[in-house]
Each structure stands twice: as C-alpha cells, then as structure tokens.
A and B are shown apart, each in its own frame.
Chain A
C-alpha cells in the first residue's frame, strides 16, 4: 500500500507541524504562507469588519477554493435560512429566540470571516435544551432543508444542562448557500452527542462553525459526516472550561469529483486533566475531489494532565483526487498524560483487492468490502443507528458511481454477493 504516514507521540514542550512533509501526489500540504506562531494566537471576534476578505493566502484559507465561497463573502447575508423540522424527545425544549438572547455567543467568538458572517447575519436562533438531569430517549432530529434561496445564515445553540444525557442530530439536505453557527454547551457532568450530517444536493455551499464548550466532568461526542454539496467547510472547535472534561470528535467524509470537503478542528486544552480524541477518516474518488483536514490541538501551560490523540486517514480511490492533511500539536507544558497524532493517506490497496478477488469475490464487491472496512470502526462510533444505516447506503451509492461499469460482466449473481457483503457490516 502506498501510504504516507506521519506518526508522533510527544511529551515534551514541542510543537509539531507537518505542513512541509510532502509525500506522494495524492497527499500534499500546501505552500507559500507563513504559519502563525501558535494556534492560540489566532484572532477571534464577533465583528465581521475585523476579518478582511480572504484571498486564499491566509493560513486558514490556504487550502480553500475561496472563489467558490463568493456568495457568502459579500457581507451580511439576507437570504431565508433553510427550513428546520424537529422531531424527538418532547422533554427537550425547542425555542426560537432573537439575536439578543444572552445565551447566544457564550461558546466563544467567531474565528474566521464566515463564522463572523454567520454571527452578524442570523435573525432568529434555534435553541435546543436537554434539561438538567434528563436522560433522553432516542435522539432529537433536526432536519435542515435548503430550498435554493439566496445566501443565508443560521444559528443553532444546543445546550446539555448539568447531568443530562442526550443526542442531537443535524441533518442537512437540499441545496443552500449557508453560513452557519452551531454552538454547543455541555454543562457540568452532562453527556451529549451531536451528529451533523452534510448530505446536501449538488450545488450547496456550506460553511459551518461549530463551537463547543465542555464543563467539569462533562463529555461531548461530536460526529461530522460530510457526503454531499459542492463545497463544505466545517470548523469544529472544542474548549474545556473546567477539569475532567472529555471530547471525542469523529468525522467521516466521502468526496466525489469536483467536491471540496474541508474539516478544520481545534481542541483547546486550557484547564487540567481533560481528554480529547480526534479521529477523521475520508475516502476520495474522481477528478478534482479534494479533502482538507486540519487538526490543531493546543495544550496550554495550565493544562497539566492532558491526554490527547488525533488521527486522520484518507483513502484515495482514483487518480485526480487529493487529500490534504495537517495535524498540528502544540504543547506548552511538560506535565501531560499523553499526546500524539497520526496522519496517513493511502491509495486503494491492490494487494487487498487481489486477495479478496482470489477468493471469487467480484471486483465491485471486493472494493465495497475494502472501503466499508476502512470506515467500519468510524461508522460504529456514530452511535445513531438510523444515521449509520443511511451512511452505509450512501457509501455504497458512492461506490456504484465508479463501479457501475464493472458490475454484470459475467453470469454470477452479483446481488447475492453484495447482499453477503452487506449482511456482514457493523452491527
């Protein structure tokens, strides 16, 4: 397998940046900009005016096709926000509030131009609250459907009050040009799972700033699944406000020809004894399919006892696709539990394919097995069965795009084999 791997485990006060570790053509790291001294120095602000229009040379825009965001760069957005439909546990409160609601903005200020645009532009915010001590039955499903209206903004705040347990799924469909903020507050002792699915139709442009704060002994499980849309850029940020917090950030993406899927994560360890795990996996196929993964983890001086690990893996299925992957771990204290990161980008493994085919498994089914296998562990971490099922179906549909012409070349009952592949997947 032609794999590019970088793997490091640090327990010294060093910063590691792989932005210059160039390997095979499917895995490049961009060039031509001067990185900031520290991720912690990056300016944040609620004022759009504080963020000049990106040119594509800035550290946080250097991998992005800025031209394709033009619809969102114009200033304050006035389009009608995508439709929202909510189902689930009736004990979870749903409110629509004005911009001036004091709960909004508590998860920190925007960190880039589009996050500031989203903040300045929204008219009404959606607030979803899991009440204190409540243990949810099932998930709250928020279906967000774009109807091709002019560029718009949307603001969602999810609060898990103290000692509650809950699951909220944001499901994006249809088409939209959307600048979005998802604020997440996990109060002391609460446990919250947030799953954001980007299953947009072709044409969608989606920039979303997820800003999470995690309280004492609280846990956030954050899952991002990006499949559809033309350009999707998600910037999940997590900050701990008290010791004992834990965050698990999982992501899964599948980029087709012409799609740009960007995930920029930032985990800010500013208090002692918190734990973070970041795992993103993506597959790419087709001309111009592009994924970007940036994993910034900052362990500040005060954050003794931190335990962190981040991983990104990409599977490049065809020529013409490109995965950029930059883990960046900064450690400002020597007193940590553990810190490490890994990044690997590999091409489709011909030896695996040969092994499976030498057992009679047709090529299309063999590829399906390998790609599903690549994602299997991630899929089982989503924790919402309906989303898992849908994702498997989506992955198969993606594979059918390139595999279609390979099926039906002989008298074998392909459907039976596919069914066998399917019956064995992640339960």
Chain B
C-alpha cells in the first residue's frame, strides 16, 4: 500500500515576459488501487501538474511538496522518480529517432527493475501486451513514436505502463485524439493494469467520455491551477451536463 501526496504545490514556468505562475496550491492524495480523475478546461494547468510530478526541467516548483510514501519526490532526478515507481503517460509523446520501440522498452525495463529482464519471459510479455493493445508486432522494430498516429502514440504509452508496472501512473489526456475504438482499447489496457497490479491512477482529462470506460473513485475539478471542487463519480456526471462554466465565473 503506497500513497502519493501532493501538498500545496506551486509551480511556475519561465516565459519571455518573466516567470508565470501556473499551479497555485494543489492538494491531492492518491493511494494504491485508487483512480482519481482530474478534470479541467484547457489551460487550467493539468499538464503542468503532470510534468511537475515527473520532474520536467521546464517547470519550477516554487513551494509545496510531493511525497511518495513519505519520500521527497521533488528532490529526485527525473529517472529516479520513475525508478521510485512514478509513470507519466504524456499528452504529446516524443519521437526518438533511431531507437526502436523494443530497444527502448527493454532499456526502460532494465532501468526500472535494476536488472535486465529474463529474455524469454520479456519477449512474451511484450508480445502479449502489444496484442492486447491491438498493436501490430512491426511496431516493436519501429523507432519510438516516429511516424506514429495520435492513437498509436497513446497505445504505446499505455503499453509502457503495462510493462513497467508503476506504483502510480499519471495519464495526461490519454483519451484526447482517440476514436471510439481506440479509446476502448486504451481504456481496457488501463483497466488491465488496475486489475492485475495495485497501481494508483491520476487520470487527467478534459472530457468525461473516458470515464465511461475507466471508473474513477474520486473526481477533482481543476481550474486556474488548483482543485476547485472534489467529489465522487457523480461530480463527473454533473460536469458532463453543465460543463466548466460554473467554475470559470469569477476566476481569472
């Protein structure tokens, strides 16, 4: 049983006009096995939260804490965070020329586990995970994200989540840009990891439709760099009906 705690997190980015504050005191606590949906309008700071947890150098934490089982995540390097059990499925996965998916996955697995996986078992695991995500086996020999469609990139992110089995996974708009079939395949992938491991999930989304496939335990409405309201799954239904307007009135 693990917990990921975010306490009063303030984050800014450097812009040509000076530092710009984006997160304004985020409080959030996720335990193993739980799924928290974070829903908010574009520009509310959802990706900033995701990147800050992962340690992207562009985002500067000005105050607050992120703790994984009491350990100071903010003091860890990007790769240390991943090895500590954090995973980020990115909204815009990055191309890496000349590095094949299979090489990338094996290298990541080796890094996360601290030792090379047993080859037979590993090859089988990769094949099964790819089949489950309806990924053509040829993807293994393609370069990471190079020429992948939007949907293929998202499947590839969830493939990594399955194979690396993190303690906590932050999924940043994994649903955006997916058609209904792809959305189902990707959601099934997330649900598989949820059912076979004790992963805690931070499901970031703009729309409610992915919540028809992945049931959240908690819903947090994210507006203007902080959590504006939280509740159970019923809150998502209300957002579905009313949109974000209610929260935007009066915020700047």
Contact = CB atoms under 8 A, between A and B. Distances in A.
Contacts of B82: 357-361
Nearest to B99: A373
B103 A421 contact: yes
A420 B114 contact: no
19 contacts: A349-B94, A351-B94, A356-B96, A357-B79, A359-B108, A359-B111, A360-B111, A361-B111, A362-B111, A369-B103, A369-B104, A413-B114, A417-B107, A419-B110, A420-B110, A423-B106, A424-B99, A424-B103, A424-B107
A376 B95 CA distance: 15
B111 A417 contact: yes
Given A351-B94, A359-B82, A424-B102, 4 more contacts: A354-B78, A357-B82, A361-B79, A374-B98
A357 B110 contact: no
Interface in A360-378: 360-363, 365-366, 369-370, 372-377
Given A352-B94, A377-B98, A424-B102, A413 B115 contact: yes
Contacts of B110: 416-417, 419-420
Contacts of B57: 350, 354
The CB with the most chain A CB atoms within 10 A, among B77, B90, B97, B99, is that of B99
A241 B103 CA distance: 44
B93 interface: yes
A363 B77 contact: yes
B115 A416 contact: yes
Contact of A419 (B95, B116, B160): B116
A369 B98 CA distance: 8
B96 A355 contact: yes
A352 B96 contact: yes
B37 interface: no
B112 interface: yes
A370 B102 CA distance: 15
Nearest to B97: A373
B97 A369 contact: no
Interface string A393-427: 00000000000000001101100110111011100
Given A354-B57, A369-B96, A370-B96, A360 B112 contact: yes
Contacts of A362: 79, 111
Interface string B56-87: 11000000000000000000011111110001
B221 interface: no
Nearest to A361: B111
A376 B141 CA distance: 13
A365 B103 contact: no
B143 interface: yes
Contact of A359 (B56, B77, B160): B160
Given A412-B83, A420-B106, A359 B98 contact: no
